[in-house]
């Protein structure tokens, strides 16, 4: 998947009006998600992403932070402050980015990623609204 395709999926699913906003939302969510992973899992996820997105995952602190959903959304919201993306909609953007991520990763890697998340974050990857066949 190309970066432009990933951002397009986020833009559509997140109801964002520009690619720049989709990119800012993606960076905030991906950096937060990467914080929840161990270094090895982050490397595996990054290997399946376009370079710019892989860099976000690789550059994060991989401390396996145990965020529950509320903490995760708050962390995304914090990262969105100072951008032109509405921090109050962080949960919507988290859903949009994880939808795109579910399409970008292989099923096996997606399962490995989900296994490292707090159970409370699992629903972020349920009800994916993007169809792999249409990407």
Q: What is the spatial distance between Cα 12 and Cα 120, in angstroms, rounded to a whole number? A: 25
Q: What is the per-residue pLDDT for 117?
A: 86
Q: What is the spatial distance between Cα 107 and Cα 93, in angstroms, rounded to a whole number? A: 22
Q: What is the per-residue pLDDT for 76?
A: 94
User: What is the sign, positive or negative, of the torsion defined by CA atoms of 72, 76, 81, 82?
Assistant: positive
Q: Which two tokens stand for residue 14?
A: 């997140």
Q: Are 11 and 22 in contact (CB under 8 A)?
A: yes
Mind listing the pLDDT tens digit for each residue in 32-60? 999 988 878 999 999 999 999 999 999 98
Mind listing the pLDDT tens digit for each residue in 80-134? 998 888 888 999 999 999 999 999 999 999 999 988 888 888 788 776 555 545 4
Q: What is the per-residue pLDDT for 20?
A: 95
Which of 89, 72, 85, 77 shows the shortest CA–CA distance to 35? 72
Q: Are 132 and 78 in contact (CB under 8 A)?
A: no
Q: What is the spatial distance between Cα 12 and Cα 129, in angstroms, rounded to a whole number? A: 10
Mean pLDDT of 5-21: 94
Q: What is the per-residue pLDDT for 133?
A: 52
pTM > 0.85: yes
Q: What is the per-residue pLDDT for 128?
A: 57
Phi, psi dihedrals of residue 4, rounded to the nearest 5°: -60, -35
User: Which architecture does CATH list for 3-122?
Assistant: Orthogonal Bundle (1.10)
Q: What is the per-residue pLDDT for 65?
A: 72
């Amino acid at each position: 998947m190309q970066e432009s395709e990933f951002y397009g999926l986020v833009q559509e699913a997140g109801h964002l009006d520009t690619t720049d906003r989709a990119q800012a939302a993606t960076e905030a969510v991906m950096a937060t998600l990467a914080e929840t992973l161990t270094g090895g899992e982050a490397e595996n996820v990054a290997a399946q992403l376009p370079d710019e997105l892989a860099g976000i995952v690789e550059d994060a602190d991989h401390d396996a932070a145990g965020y529950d959903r509320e903490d995760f959304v708050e962390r995304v919201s914090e990262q969105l402050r100072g951008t032109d993306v509405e921090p109050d909609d962080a949960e919507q953007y988290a859903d949009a980015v994880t939808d795109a991520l579910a399409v970008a990763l292989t099923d096996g890697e997606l399962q490995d990623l989900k296994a490292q998340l707090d159970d409370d974050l699992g629903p972020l990857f349920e009800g994916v609204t993007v169809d792999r066949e249409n990407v």
